Amino acid sequence: MLATLSFILAMLASTAFTLKLVKLLREAREQKQRLKKIICRQRAKRKLVEEDLRIAAIAFEAQEGMVITDEHRNILRVNHAFTLITGYHREEALGKQTSLLKSGLHGAGYYEDMGRQLDTNAYWQGEIWNRRKNGEVYPEWLTITAVKNPSGKVINYVATMLDITQRKAAEAKLEHLAYHDPLTGLANRRLLIDRLQHSLLAKSRSNLYGAILFLDLDNFKTINDSSGHGKGDMLLQVAAKRLAHSIRKGDTLARHGGDEFVLLLEELSDNIRETAIETQMIATKILADLAAAYDLDHAEFHSSASIGITLFDKQSTSAEELLKQVEVAMYEAKSSGGNTFRFFDKDMLDIVNTRAALEADMRLGLQQEQFVLYYQPQVSSTGQVTGAEALVRWQHPQKGLVPPCNFIPLAEESGLIISLGAWILKTACATLAAWQKTAGKQHMTLAVNVSARQFRQCDFVAQVLGNIAHYNINASKLKLELTESLLIDNIEETIDKMNQLKAKGVGFSLDDFGTGYSSLSYLKRLPLDQLKIDQSFVRDIVSNNNDAVITRTIIALGQSLGLAVIAEGVETAAQRDFLQQQGCLSYQGYLYGKPSADLI
Ligand code: C2E
Ligand code: CA
Ligand code: CA
């Protein structure tokens, strides 16, 4: 019994033991699995860290130079790119201060400002000039980041640096291109205006005068057209070099365009007279320099320039205004024969401005049909009206009736005479058509003034014939008045055009005869019908023997060439009688009637 009991007890005890053992074993297994997991996780973590380190190492050896310093800017690490940029090897840089790279080009304030920004933002980025080990100063794009510990104290600085020498050079090249003329290397118009504006701003604080010289080569177009653009370019280059010799440091020499150069001389003198004299001396020297012979590819060329000059001071207006002034002066120099200079004069600008306004006004006048034709009778020795001369007037809405001498010269210069002349011709033909339908007027001729530019138009003949056909008029009643200067210019073309019109019956009168350079040889070749004695000879014909002789000669010349002769500006019976005695049998002048809008 006892044995059974002890057995049972033993059994119970061993069961409890076994249970305990099983539990222990299970716990041990779980612990092991936990450990395994931890080890696995740690391995993974270490792998990540290793990967990070590997990436960091690659990044550190990237193209950009990198420097890591301690909080006192002592260099702790540099990469290979740092050595390539700065020339310092790792061993030479480690332990040194970053001031090792200072170029000396930035003042203390620059670095203080950088330090302040790093303190507040933990970051600085910008362009900086540093110095390489070989002493060369170079531009660098620098980024600095401050690294802080968890308590916010800076423990390191990490800097990346990019050498921007090449980028800077490219930028400078682009900038140079934008502001310079590629052919001559001189400043271009843009830079000139920049400098001029700058100079005007600076002038507001100075009492010194400056001067602008505007140069235009006189015969450049001829050389360029006849010898080719290559030679033209060479001439410009040599001229630019000669000009560059004439200037002081600080002056601006620019190619304004084509064969135009502008010289900006600043701060000459506080006395306008002295400034003018000094500028005049410079201009004289430039003219002499430019007039010397040019050896272009072993061929000798000659050139000269026209120079416009304007002086400016602190009261001067805008850059554009000054350039306009100096250009006006240059044209003045050019129109007085070239190879000379002219100072700008305010009255001249007023003239130019008035002309510009008049031209615009004329365009409008043409659009709005403000022009009218007046007619002045032409009379025979028996007092019969044989016809009339058409004379244009401008019926201006504000200015009233404007005489042709106030607008014809400008119309010729601006080319407006082409459309104005076309209108005159058309209107005159319409008048002739009306006369030819009116009893007692069918015999009348109408003289129409034709200006050189109008006559030179390649479709001039077609225009005249077109009007004749359109208005169905008798062409022999239309008489075109041409001047001597028009006829001499390109005489073959003139004769050809005149013959084409002559063949259809159109007549020709030589206007203002005696004032030009008529020569008998060409007078004989021209298919003219009439000579018109200029009114300047008629005016004093009775009192001035010279005029009397000239008039007599013209009449005799007309007779010998088989041409009719008409005198214009006949105001008195005495003039008419004298003319008649000499054999001139046609007259036009106030004695018979002033030009009027009424159709005769
Ligand atoms: P022109 O062709 O020599 O015209 C004659 C000018 O003398 C006209 O001046 C006329 O009014 C003026 N005249 C006529 N008789 C007398 C006189 O007895 N005494 C004085 N003192 N003057 C007299 P106008 O009409 O002022 O024309 C001036 C110039 O304008 C013309 O000179 C001509 O060159 C130009 N012109 C006029 N009409 C036209 C036109 O339709 N076309 C072109 N191209 N030019 C024109
Ligand atoms: Ca005339
Ligand atoms: Ca005349």
- Written as tens digits, the pLDDT of the chain (600 aa) is 555 555 555 555 566 666 777 787 788 788 888 888 888 888 888 888 787 777 777 777 777 899 999 999 999 999 999 999 999 999 999 999 999 999 999 999 999 999 999 999 999 999 999 999 999 999 999 999 999 999 989 999 999 999 999 888 888 888 888 899 999 999 999 999 999 988 888 766 778 889 999 999 998 888 888 888 888 999 999 999 999 987 888 899 999 989 999 999 988 888 888 888 889 889 999 999 999 999 988 889 999 999 999 998 877 778 888 999 999 999 999 998 999 999 997 776 677 678 888 999 999 999 999 999 999 999 999 999 999 999 999 999 999 999 999 999 989 988 999 999 999 999 999 999 999 999 999 999 999 999 999 999 999 999 999 999 999 999 999 999 999 888 877 889 999 999 999 999 999 999 999 887 767 777 888 999 999 999 999 999 999 999 999 999 999 999 999 999 999 999 999 999 999 999 999 999 999 999 999 866
- In this structure, are 332 and 366 located in the same domain? no
In angstroms, what is the span from residue 128 Cα to ligand 2's centroid?
A: 79
CA–CA distances in Å: residue 339 to residues 191, 216, 286, 293, 320 = 27, 10, 10, 14, 25
Q: Assess if residue 32 is contained within a domain.
A: no
- In this structure, are 465 and 522 located in the same domain? yes
Q: Which amino acid is at 177?
A: L
Ligand 1 site, CB within 6 A:
376, 390-392, 403-405, 408, 424, 449, 451, 511-512, 535, 568-571, 588-590, 595
Q: Assess if residue 280 is contained within a domain.
A: yes
| Secondary structure E strands in 350-490 | 371-380, 385-396, 400-402, 445-449, 478-483
The range of the structural domain enclosing residue 101 comes to 65-168
In angstroms, what is the span from residue 318 Cα to ligand 2's centroid?
A: 45
Q: Is the dihedral of CA 15, 17, 20, 24 positive or negative?
A: negative
- In this structure, are 279 and 131 located in the same domain? no
In angstroms, what is the span from residue 402 Cα to ligand 1's centroid?
A: 13
Considering every ligand atom shown, identify the ligand nearest to the alpha carbon of residue 593 and give its number.
1
Q: Which of 289, 310, 344 is the last residue of a domain?
A: 344
CA trace torsion 314, 320, 324, 327 (10° rounding): 90
- In this structure, are 381 and 286 located in the same domain? no
CA–CA distances in Å: residue 263 to residues 238, 258, 330, 584 = 16, 15, 13, 60
- In this structure, are 387 and 332 located in the same domain? no
The overall pTM is greater than 0.85: no
Give the residue, by CA position, lying nearest to ligand 1 atom 6: 569
Considering every ligand atom shown, identify the ligand nearest to the alpha carbon of residue 532 and give its number.
3
Which residue has 């010397």 as its token pair?
Answer: 292
- In this structure, are 282 and 212 located in the same domain? yes
Q: Assess if residue 385 is contained within a domain.
A: yes
Question: Which stretch of DSSP H or E encloses residue 153?
Answer: none
Give the residue, by CA position, lying nearest to ligand 1 atom 35: 404
Q: Assess if residue 413 is contained within a domain.
A: yes
- In this structure, are 333 and 376 located in the same domain? no
Q: Assess if residue 11 is contained within a domain.
A: no
- In this structure, are 229 and 330 located in the same domain? yes
In angstroms, what is the span from residue 391 Cα to ligand 1's centroid?
A: 6
Q: Which atom of ligand 1 is nearest to the CA of 591?
A: 18
Ligand 1 test: best mutation among 391, 482, 508, most atoms within 8 Å of CB?
Answer: 391
- In this structure, are 278 and 325 located in the same domain? yes
| Cβ contact 268:201 at 8 Å | no
Q: Assess if residue 108 is contained within a domain.
A: yes
Q: Which of 112, 145, 168 is the last residue of a domain?
A: 168
In angstroms, what is the span from residue 515 Cα to ligand 3's centroid?
A: 10
Here the CATH number for the domain that contains residue 327 is: 3.30.70.270
Q: Assess if residue 7 is contained within a domain.
A: no
- In this structure, are 159 and 191 located in the same domain? no
Tally of domains within the chain: 3
Give the residue, by CA position, lying nearest to ligand 1 atom 16: 569
Distance CA 300, CA 234 (A): 12
- In this structure, are 441 and 509 located in the same domain? yes
Here the CATH number for the domain that contains residue 511 is: 3.20.20.450
Distance CA 391, CA 518 (A): 24
Which residues are CB-neighbours of 150 under 8 A, at least 6 positions away?
Answer: none
- In this structure, are 142 and 211 located in the same domain? no
In angstroms, what is the span from residue 336 Cα to ligand 3's centroid?
A: 27
Q: Assess if residue 573 is contained within a domain.
A: yes
